[in-house]
Chains A and B, each alone.
Chain A
Amino acid sequence: MNHLEFKISLAPFYPASEILVAKLGEIGFESFVEDEPYILAYILKSDFNDFNLTQVLNEMESFSKIKIEKKEIPKENWNKRWENSFEPITLGDFCIIRAPFHSSNPNIKHEIIIEPKMSFGTGHHETTQLMIELMKGIDFADKKVLDMGSGTGILAILAEQLGAKSILAIDIEEWAFENMNENLERNNCSRIKTKLGGEEQLPEDENYDIILANINKNILKSQFETYAKLQLANQRMLISGFFQTDLKELSNRLQDYNYALEISIVENLWTSALFVKG
């Protein structure tokens, strides 16, 4: 999904710029750059509503002269510079995550080849490393796995390598979904099914031995109820993407669905935790 960029010049600039940003924030605009005499405002194309914008601009006309230019931003891999030269990640002799341009290391058990193309999950972030660390201690053989917010597909690929029988990997971002499919091919995966979307993409009558979800606190909290319906007693849920200070809140919420915290691990305040359903 593309973004729209609005270049809005304001004369006078202050305090109109601040008010405009506040009002645009209320109607779905996501991010802004202030660069006197104009602001750049960005919104997801599907969130944009012409009527709302006209209304805001009308309100602004009483104190500034406004000029506006609209532009659609073509899809582009903005992360290319970093992706062209990143270092592979080695987690002991358990796992290496590398790009196609890095050489292989035969002394490491699991090798995951990722070309991220602006998707999350290259092993560089603590949250991914912690998930891998937790996955290391779990038996995946013949297990049914769900990976929510799969990004590059890194955790799903590892789950297949660890022997999972079938894996469903879901991501809400189009570019991540496309990229994950490319990475599955790159790693010769054959037991991973992918879907584009959110929790509405989850089947209703399935259950998963293991759920993997490296997302963020708010989304996890809002989706636990759905995940819980997909698991039976003794099945496991691994979550990540939040801070140590949020673990209690998330644990309490999961308790409502009869999950107990088994292990949590922390790196730079980022936390991953393993829960088991009772």
Chain B
Amino acid sequence: MAKEVSGIIKLQIRGGAANPSPPVGPALGAKGVNIMDFCKQFNGRTQEKAGKVLPVVITVYSDKSFDFVIKTPPAAVQLLEKAKIKSGSPEPNRKKVASVTWDQVKEIAEDKMEDLNAFKVESAMNMVAGTARSMGINVKGTRPF
């Protein structure tokens, strides 16, 4: 029989950095969950993504057990990361502007399709590119569609 859900908690936590202080502590503690178990599980499962902000959706059941789903990082987080990789600018004399390629935008868009409520990868790409621009990150090259 399916267990009764007593609450759903949405947080964003840096990979490997869950600890029992707020917001994790009060959110889970109020539901009677063993916070330390959650932290150990979350940190264990995010060792490969240590340092990246990861959205997590935690389902708490009426018997105080829990499970959780870790989502891929928000588009903005991924953009920062991708822009950073290429920070060794080939044109050192010009003002350094962070940039990403359309291929990278596509990668993020495909990754975030579900969360962006987009039906077509092109519209997801437009949203990601829009986020990039508002962050001051250039999208290099010609739009591929």
Q: What residues make up the interface of A, taking CB atoms closer than 8 Å to B?
A: 2-3, 5, 15-16, 18-19, 21-23, 25-26, 29-34, 40, 42, 59, 63, 73, 76, 78-82, 85-86, 116, 118-122, 124-125, 127, 173, 216-218, 241-243, 246, 270
Contacts and interface: CB of A to CB of B under 8 A. Distances in A.
Nearest to B75: A18
A120 B39 contact: yes
Given A25-B77, A81-B32, A246 B47 contact: yes
B109 interface: no
Given A5-B22, A82-B29, A32 B44 contact: no
Most chain B C-beta atoms within 10 Å of own C-beta, residue among A19, A42, A119: A19
Contacts of B39: 120
A25 B52 contact: yes
A3 B25 CA distance: 12
Given A78-B20, A242-B47, 12 more contacts: A3-B21, A3-B22, A5-B22, A22-B79, A30-B14, A32-B12, A33-B12, A80-B29, A81-B29, A81-B31, A82-B32, A243-B45
**Top 7 nearest A-B pairs by Cβ distance?**
A78-B25, A78-B29, A22-B76, A25-B53, A32-B12, A22-B77, A18-B76
A120 B40 contact: yes
15 contacts: A19-B134, A21-B74, A21-B77, A22-B135, A25-B51, A31-B23, A32-B13, A32-B53, A63-B134, A78-B21, A79-B29, A118-B35, A118-B36, A127-B40, A241-B40
Contacts of A119: 36
Interface in B21-78: 21-37, 39-40, 43-45, 47, 50-53, 64, 74-77
B21 A124 contact: no
Contacts of B33: 82
B100 interface: no
B143 interface: no
A149 B135 CA distance: 40
A238 B76 CA distance: 40
Contact of B23 (A16, A33, A81): A33
A119 B79 CA distance: 36
Contact of A216 (B22, B43, B53, B77): B43
